[in-house]
Chains A and B, each alone.
Chain A
Amino acid sequence: MRAWRYPAFWLTLGLVAAVGIVVFATRSATLREEMFLLLMFVTLASSLNILLGYTGYVNFGHIVFFGLGGYVGFYLMSQQGWPLWWATLAGGLASGLLAWVLGAATLRLRGAYFALATIGVNEAVRAFVNNFRPFGGPTGMSLNFAVYRQYGGPANALWWTFGAMFGLTLLVIVISYLVKFSRFGLGLMSVREDEDAAMVMGVRTPSMKTWAFVLSALFPGMVGVLFFFKNGNVEPGDAFRLQMSIEIIVMVMLGGSGTVLGPAIGSAAYERLRGYLLTSPIFKNLHLAFAGFLLLIIVLFVPAGLVGWLRGRVPRLRRVLE
């Protein structure tokens, strides 16, 4: 476990921790809500990065894990009376299981075929949940308000949810680093560079890819449960938004895929920027166009993302920005 020896590890962890500490210190509910979304996207982007950044496989359906995990957890809470903590774990496991099954099948596909398959999976699951009665069909499920009483009233419940979200974000950062500096991570990156060569060298790529997929699916599953618990209801349209999958990819690219700091910074920047554009009088109507323009510029001119670009520019920063 060499991760601790890197300053980058402490830098990233410190940045995320600062967000949580500021929120807990100020006790501001607005700040908490905004930072909840921010941390949520950091977690989603960082978990996607484990597959996208390390193995180079582009998953257009990352949000399916968010939606399915959220649904399973929500079902357990609202219909079976499970407490939030166990439901969150169950949501993560359900997503992990789905990833394991899907991974075994779809990860044989290379390149764009895999990307297309993930779009198909997302749409198929959404359409299925839309028809699945136990999950409430098209109108979804909602929590009875009394549920929040178990956690000391709604205000407390929201703080607990934020705390859990914060914990998850720290966890995903730690795991990202552990994977990156492990033998497992090295195997994944050899897949990214040249899968055939890696196989020839004896890297067991199929199982490695599948486990990376599972790992990257666990977190969105848990995040989904927290998110929908906070919202009080869940619907297919909110749970499986293809648009959101793509936005998460943009976040990873913006910061720099393959690094841990990159997705964290990228998602935070994108979320804040979007929030700013949405409420600014000039850009309000053009926020999407502006975000698109930004994305195009990054793809065309800075494909390594912010962190990747800095690493390339200033070699001395490589130990710090990882």
Chain B
Amino acid sequence: MTEQLLASLTDGLLLGFVYGLASMGLSLIWGVMRVINLAHGATMVLGMFATYLLFSTLGIHPYVALPIIVVLSLLFGFLVYTTAVHRVINAPYLSTLLATFAVNMMIIGIGTAVFTTTPRNVDIAVGRFQVGPVTLLSTRLVATLIAVVVTAGLYLLLYRTRPGKAIRAVANNRAAARLMGISAFRTLALSFGLGTMLAAAAGALIATFFPFTILSGAGYQTKGFVICVLGGLGNPTGALIGGLILGALEGIIPVFMAVNWVPVIEFVLFVLILLVKPSGLLGAR
């Protein structure tokens, strides 16, 4: 029992880091511009496919490919923001929901036409370490490490650099930030780009351990919502903690009941937290 708990919890927590990474993007975009990015899952899948293509056609190792994907996805984020989101950024929030959902449909639509819905794998050599009852896989450990590094990087960016401070200022009060001479458009585009980048990076990491199809995004996206609410909507670093909480739940619950009850508990918890404390378990910002 304890052995199983230990193994299960380790798996859950390691995965929690990566889920947390993805959710940081969701949370950042929400925090800065009050937009629920419904193209988040699709963006993660783009990260997965980018990894897959770079690996299978050019033979670039996923970890080497990560910087390339980061840059590409940042640019992709700018593009999406400029074409689809900026125009409705001040409209009722239904508009931004639908605009990002439209982007989601386009990504999945074009992706289905190009890649079909056949599952893909990125087959890289997997190292294995045995620590007591726990089997650790190298891909998970590296992914966790990268997730932590990226989180630290994001933190530094937000708190130590000018653009980062601009982002926080805009998140705090867009009108006041503009009065201070901060370009709302540039800052918002940057935040959206960062959010998109985080999603794609997480997708690229997930691709190294799970198979995926062009439709895989939906599941990760709903998980992302749960994590954001656990960690506090609009609190990017909190999202990482949210990810860990979710990972822990996914590790602990199956020890005591059928695995299929996990989503029931997750989503009931999600709705309850929204009702009782909409700003999230860890509070806002």
Contacts and interface: CB of A to CB of B under 8 A. Distances in A.
Contacts of B275: 105-106, 108-109, 117
- Most A-side CB within 10 Å, residue of B87, B266, B278: B278
Contacts of B84: 296, 300
Contacts of B106: 288-289, 292-293, 296
Nearest to B279: A113
A138 B259 CA distance: 13
B180 interface: no
Interface string A121-134: 10110011011000
A303 B261 CA distance: 40
A299 interface: yes
Across the A-B interface, the 10 shortest Cβ-Cβ residue pairs: A289-B109, A292-B105, A288-B109, A124-B267, A296-B102, A285-B113, A127-B263, A292-B106, A295-B102, A120-B271
A127 B105 CA distance: 24
Contacts of A105: 275
18 contacts: A116-B274, A121-B267, A123-B270, A131-B261, A246-B101, A249-B98, A250-B101, A253-B94, A285-B112, A288-B105, A291-B109, A292-B103, A292-B109, A296-B102, A296-B103, A299-B98, A299-B102, A303-B88
Interface string A272-304: 000000000000011111111101100110010
Contacts of B93: 58, 111-112, 115
B46 to A, nearest CB: 14
Contacts of B98: 249-250, 253, 295, 299
A218 to B, nearest CB: 22
A124 B267 CA distance: 5
B102 A112 contact: no
- Most A-side CB within 10 Å, residue of B92, B94, B110, B260: B94
Nearest to B276: A105
Contacts of B113: 285-286, 289
A119 interface: yes
A177 B108 CA distance: 37
Contacts of B263: 123-124, 127, 130
Contact of B105 (A106, A108, A121, A295): A295
A242 interface: yes
Contacts of A58: 93-94, 97
Q: How many interface residues does chain A have, given as a range?
A: 35 or more
Interface in B137-153: none
B34 interface: yes
A220 interface: no
Interface in A59-95: none
A131 B101 contact: no
Given A117-B271, A296-B103, 4 more contacts: A112-B97, A131-B260, A288-B106, A293-B106
A26 to B, nearest CB: 34
Interface of A: 52, 56, 58, 105-106, 108-109, 111-113, 115-117, 119-121, 123-124, 127-128, 130-131, 138, 242-243, 246, 249-250, 253, 285-293, 295-296, 299-300, 303
Contacts of A300: 84, 87-88, 99
B171 to A, nearest CB: 15
Contact of A242 (B94, B218, B258): B218
B36 interface: yes
Contacts of B271: 106, 117, 120-121, 124
B60 interface: no
A299 B88 contact: yes
Interface in B66-80: none
A130 B267 contact: no
Given A296-B99, A299-B98, A120 B274 contact: yes
A299 B243 CA distance: 32
Contacts of A111: 93
A289 B110 contact: yes
Nearest to A288: B109
Contacts of B209: none
Contacts of B95: 299, 303
